[in-house]
Amino acid sequence: MMATILLVDDEASVREMVSEVIRQSGHRVITADSVAKAKAIFTSQAIDLVVTDLVMPEQSGIDLILEFRQIKADVKVLAISGGGGITGRFDYLPIASLVGAGAILKKPFSINEFSHKLEELLNAN
């Protein structure tokens, strides 16, 4: 099944790399570099799954999950993060799970790890 994936990350290099993996998996990808831009896309297009970074300069991926769940309670979210804040010592991934991310993945990850998580979540009910 071809899905439409919304990919949100403030880092261009991550957007490029992950977009390529999503396309190679046979899916359509739309990217956004901020939660605000992602929200505009999410409210105007049919999105099957959201892949979001957690640490971003304005609103965080945690904000995204909370806001998107207000719009669509069963939104599928795969959270990707390398850790937290400026120090990198705080791990936001468990918090993403608590607020509703269906899957989490720590950066850096392999193409196989990402594809596996993506398909698993796409196929989940």
Q: Does 55 bind Mg ion (CB under 5 A)?
A: yes
b/e 98-118 (16+ beta carbons within 10 angstroms → b): eebbbbbbebebeeeebeebb
Among 53, 60, 95, 103, the residue binding Mg ion under the rule CB under 5 A is 53
User: Minimum CB separation from Mg ion for residue 11, in Å?
Assistant: 5
At 84, phi and psi to the nearest 5? -120, 155
Q: Does 119 bind Mg ion (CB under 5 A)?
A: no
Instruction: Name the residue nearer to Mg ion (CB basis): 82 or 119.
Output: 82
| Cis omega (within 30 of 0) for bond into 94 | no
Instruction: Name the residue nearer to Mg ion (CB basis): 3 or 52.
Output: 52
Positions touching Mg ion (CB under 5 A) are 10, 53, 55-56
